[in-house]
Chains A and B, each alone.
Chain A
Amino acid sequence: MEFVSPEGLRLDGRRPLEMRQLRAEIGTVAKANGSAVLEMGNTKVIAAVYGPREVQNRSQIINDQALVRCEYSMANFSTGDRMRKPKGDRRSTEISLVIRQTMEACILTHLMPRSQIDIFVQVLQADGGTRSACINAATLALADAGIPMRDIVTSCSAGYLNSTPLLDLNYIEDSAGGPDVTVGILPKLDKVTLLQMDAKLPVDIFENVMGLAIEGCKAVVNYIREDHQFKH
């Protein structure tokens, strides 16, 4: 199947180096301390942050740090076919762990000892790149909640199909079986907090694709900062 036409257009009309449209809203969940809704193209994700608050499970208290918990779930209606088990399946558990580790790396947990921060992310519409969208939404929600962080974490994915590196894969491109590289960075510190890939890639092409994904992350950062500066 042709994912990049001879004119250089992808299936949804984008260029290979073009990201999908980003849109974010903050403060959408009234009850939560911080929340955000983020859309990357057709992928729509909602994140809610509760905390820092008292640890619910006494056995898990950490005396010098905050406990960060994360739960990723997909709504039943988020995919084409209605999902049977929205959470608790292996993929959700894995992504929850990944998001938790990524966010924990950037939250200054030692400032809030003996407390707990809960991050709940739910996918409302899944069209590829849900992992990245979740991390971006979680970052915005944490910023909304006023939780001190080292830096904003942003994430983006990139792939390699028809011998072309492609930025920000959607569902069809993702299920094509080609490699999918997801990168999460701390832009100011210039550090990588998340790097995942499935399928195989030769190392030199991998460098290209990872570099492309990092550029995508930086674009997300620009969007977030620009949006912040907006209404003063």
Chain B
Amino acid sequence: MHACMADWRGRHGQGGGIKASPGTPPQLKRAKQQPNPTAQTDMATYRWRGRLPHLHRLEYTKNQAFADSQIKEMRGLQLPLSQTQRIRLQRAFEKLQSLSSKVNSDASVTVADTIPVNYEDAFLKGHGTTDLNGELVATVCGVVERINKLVYVRGLRARYKPEVGDIVVGRCSEAVEINFSQDAILMLSSMNMPDGIQRRRTALDELNMRGIFEENDVVCAEVRNFQHDGSLQLQARSQKYGKLEKGQLLIIDPYLVKKSKLHFHHLEQFGIDLILGRNGFIWVGEHVETRDSMVVDQANSFQQSMVLEEKDLAHTPLEMRQNICRIANAVRVLSTLGFSIDADLIMETVELSSSLKIDIHDMLGSEFHVLVAEREAERRSLMGKRRR
């Protein structure tokens, strides 16, 4: 007794007419103090019905400076592309894929696939695997990775997996929401007081906490440790952490932000701070003077704090806001195309856009996406040639 199957055909993004569903405005969240008139609130991203996510070719470039980057082959790339644009985009992606070192396609697994392992060697079972009747079986869809004796499956679309020492950006609700399976906890005692003085936190501080943090504020912190029940504790112990103001919060996929030495970037020419949270929350905001509280003496600090207060109340100039928007859009474009985010790439994209005199809201249009993809393909091929 057998069932016959009719033919299975995966669906292709159809040419010509685009299924323009008025998309959700892409994860655009702003800090409270910043009503930004130049930002487009209605950035509709048209989504192109994509293919299964874990089918994307994974790139492992030997050069760690570029880290791992994963090309989303048209997954979630919903743009109203004309025919020529689509061809150019495809060509750029193909070029990028051909440049990457080939990944063994056997390494990709789906749920409940057996992982090929030499059972005689001692090996450690890592994330995403489980033991089934003596066989090693995958529990998520992804790619099998082996490091020394550890075998694990790296899922492509999983939520953020925090590690101690990671820098994350989060939004305050009852605890801090950081795109993890639970909200993280930021204790008052693990934070610097706004006046920089180190003292014991009293009950009065607890009551006054609302003066420092309110609901929906954005904070930047570091992962301190895991509790035994799996929840996360954060700390914000130096001046560079803490509440973030005057800027935009962007949400992208966590795997696009790789672990690097530097997560705080100060873009001098724009006077803008860029914080790449490992959980996929990116903060783009006006630069805030952070100074070491130890160095500053009393008289000075009083004066400076006065100046700061005035600055706080001061209106952010239009040009600053435009710069913030431009950078934020660059990040959005890169994340839509599936390139991993780092500061250099963002700067290049921003320069590209300003050199071509593209309007800020045009940056989210399809033409710019295609341009960025092409340029990235060129850049990688140049890197490849230079290496040889």
Contacts and interface: CB of A to CB of B under 8 A. Distances in A.
Interface in A31-79: 31, 33-34, 51-55, 63, 66
Contact of B181 (A112, A143, A227, A228): A112
A161 interface: no
A83 interface: no
Contacts of A104: none
A10 interface: no
A26 B7 CA distance: 18
Contacts of A113: 229-230
A212 interface: yes
A23 interface: yes
A189 B229 CA distance: 30
B52 A227 contact: yes
B75 interface: yes
B54 A228 contact: yes
A145 to B, nearest CB: 7
Contacts of B57: 232
A22 B156 CA distance: 25
Nearest to A165: B1
Given A53-B181, A54-B183, A19 B139 contact: no
B23 A30 contact: yes
A152 B113 CA distance: 10
B276 interface: no
Interface in A186-220: 186-189, 208, 211-212, 215-216, 218-219
Nearest to B49: A25
B3 A19 contact: yes
Contact of A21 (B7, B141, B231): B7
A22 B11 CA distance: 11
Given A113-B229, A230-B10, A144 B53 contact: yes
Contacts of A33: 157, 159
A96 B3 CA distance: 28
A18 interface: yes
A152 B183 CA distance: 29
Contacts of B132: 188-189
A188 B113 CA distance: 8
B128 A148 contact: yes
Interface size class of A (residues with CB under 8 A): 35 or more
B200 interface: no
Contacts of B175: 54
Nearest to A143: B141
A34 B157 contact: yes
A105 interface: no
Interface in B100-142: 105, 108, 110-112, 128, 130, 132, 137, 139-142
Nearest to B231: A114
Contacts of A85: none
A152 B137 CA distance: 12
A30 B52 contact: no
B139 A52 contact: no
B158 interface: yes
B53 A26 contact: yes
A114 B110 CA distance: 26
B51 interface: yes
Contact of B112 (A26, A146, A188, A226): A188
A146 B140 contact: yes
* Residue of A148, A187, A189 with most chain B CB atoms under a 10 A cut-off: A148
A212 B1 contact: yes
B229 A149 contact: no
B83 to A, nearest CB: 22
A18 to B, nearest CB: 5
A194 to B, nearest CB: 17
B6 A21 contact: yes
A17 interface: yes
A17 to B, nearest CB: 5
* Residue of B128, B182, B183 with most chain A CB atoms under a 10 A cut-off: B182
B255 to A, nearest CB: 10
A4 to B, nearest CB: 16
A51 B230 CA distance: 16
A188 B137 contact: yes
A52 B159 contact: yes
A126 B159 CA distance: 33
A172 to B, nearest CB: 18
A146 B75 contact: no
Contact of A146 (B76, B141, B231): B141
Contact of B140 (A148, A186, A225): A148
Contact of B73 (A25, A150, A223, A231): A231
Contacts of A87: none
Contacts of B162: none
A52 B231 CA distance: 13
Contacts of B8: 21-23, 223, 226-227
B6 A27 contact: no
Closest 8 CB pairs of A and B: A146-B158, A52-B181, A115-B181, A148-B139, A146-B155, A232-B105, A151-B112, A21-B6
Interface of A: 15, 17-28, 30-31, 33-34, 51-55, 63, 66, 108, 112-115, 143-152, 167, 186-189, 208, 211-212, 215-216, 218-219, 222-228, 230-232
7 contacts: A18-B6, A30-B23, A54-B175, A113-B229, A227-B8, A230-B51, A230-B52
Given A19-B5, A188-B137, A230-B52, 7 more contacts: A17-B2, A53-B181, A114-B229, A146-B159, A150-B112, A223-B5, A232-B105
